[in-house]
Amino acid sequence: MPSRRSALTLFAGAGAALALGTPAAMARPAHPRPFGRYGSPSRRLDARTLYVDPRGRGDHTDVRSAVDAASGTGRTLVLAPGTYRSTVLVTADRAELTLIGASGDPRDTVLVYDNAAGTPKPDGSGTYGTSGSATVTVQAAGFTARDVTFANDWLRSDNPEYTGTQAVAIKVQGDRSAFHGCRFLGHQDTLYADSLALTAFARQYYRDCYVEGDVDFVFGRATAVYDRCHFRTLTRTDLASAPYGFVFAPSTAGANPRGYLVLRSRITSTAPDAYYKLARPWVPSSDLTAHPMLTVRDSHLGAGIDAVTPYGTMSSGFPWQDQRFAEYRNTGPGARLTVPGNRPQLTASEARAHTAAGYLGDWRPYA
């Protein structure tokens, strides 16, 4: 199987096929209607809609310039199939921005770059760090994405000298951020579901999404609901034994009553059985009062998850047992209660509070 980067390079400008998914979209000729049912520059849905097409049939050929042009609030960017290689920043003054993959298949529309935490900045001022490595950063409130892939194709194998191997596909900080039918591809720290400040309890909703990675690949302090999502743990050629990594690493602020909620989802793996932990708490040095929270319920945990010791500890002073970790009615080999003390379970009464409505309040992106 080709690496993610080689797949992207092979098909760049013609569509989007990454490590997962078929390359069928790549072989398609240029479609006469690249924006599908969403109009075109000559048949614009409304004055606040912009069209992006790498072949030059839209208002812009790249996503970054389109986002920069989409000033104000309530703008929509319709993205024609293609691989868009650049970093993108959605600043806080671009509230209610919507990105739509025009084909309806997220494999066709890919936003990708390859910075890592240890990548040197061009101006010589140091390295990017974890946050700076993100392909896409969303600071605006009310951001929505549909049928888009967000990826970081930086590879450890290409850079064995790096110690900063975090490589974020997207960092989401804004309140009321929603992703429907999207894909998030990377290795370490793929999806950074965060907030703008310790006191900002940013709410995020992910529905029918796919996320892959290895180390802490869903992490941060947001209040985030993952509904009917698919999480995929990857094989690692640089390690010979378990553990390969962790799916979740929440860093929920201590004052926030709601952290990560995973419901009606599934976790699968390309790695050997039991080579992955479900989660570990992240208490960053910038917030030693963090009290990480994760609830996984009504989900299928595949054999890749270690059923005996599904949780780990990142920092010795903050053991996972002291955090807000819980499960409820999960199934699959990775959910077996082989050692009940290692798997805190909600009661039926407690579980009633762990719903999308309970976490997101008056915001109802799932309605």
Residues in the chain: 367
Phi, psi angle pair for 359, to nearest 5°: -90, -35
> What gap in Å lies between CA 186 and CA 193, rounded to an integer?
14
Which residue, among 167, 138, 153, 131, has the nearest Cα to 77 in the 3D structure? Answer: 138
Rg (CA), the chain: 20
Among residues 53, 105, 108, 189, which one is catalytic?
189
> What gap in Å lies between CA 10 and CA 182, rounded to an integer?
22
Which residue, among 149, 155, 158, 156, has the nearest Cα to 112 in the 3D structure? Answer: 149
* Residue 153, helix vs strand vs coil: coil
> What gap in Å lies between CA 64 and CA 26, rounded to an integer?
23
Could you confirm whether 175 is annotated as catalytic?
no
Q: What is the 3-state secondary structure (H, E, C) of 207-245?
A: ECCEEEECCCCEEECCEEEEECCEEEECCCCCCCCCCCE
Among residues 62, 108, 114, 216, which one is catalytic?
216
> What gap in Å lies between CA 251 and CA 311, rounded to an integer?
15
340, with CB counted inside 10 A (0-12, 13-18, 19+), is exposed
> What gap in Å lies between CA 111 and CA 27, rounded to an integer?
19
Which are the contacts of 9, defined by CB distance < 8 A and separation ≥ 6? Answer: none
DSSP state of 130: H
Could you confirm whether 216 is annotated as catalytic?
yes
Residues forming the active site? 189, 216
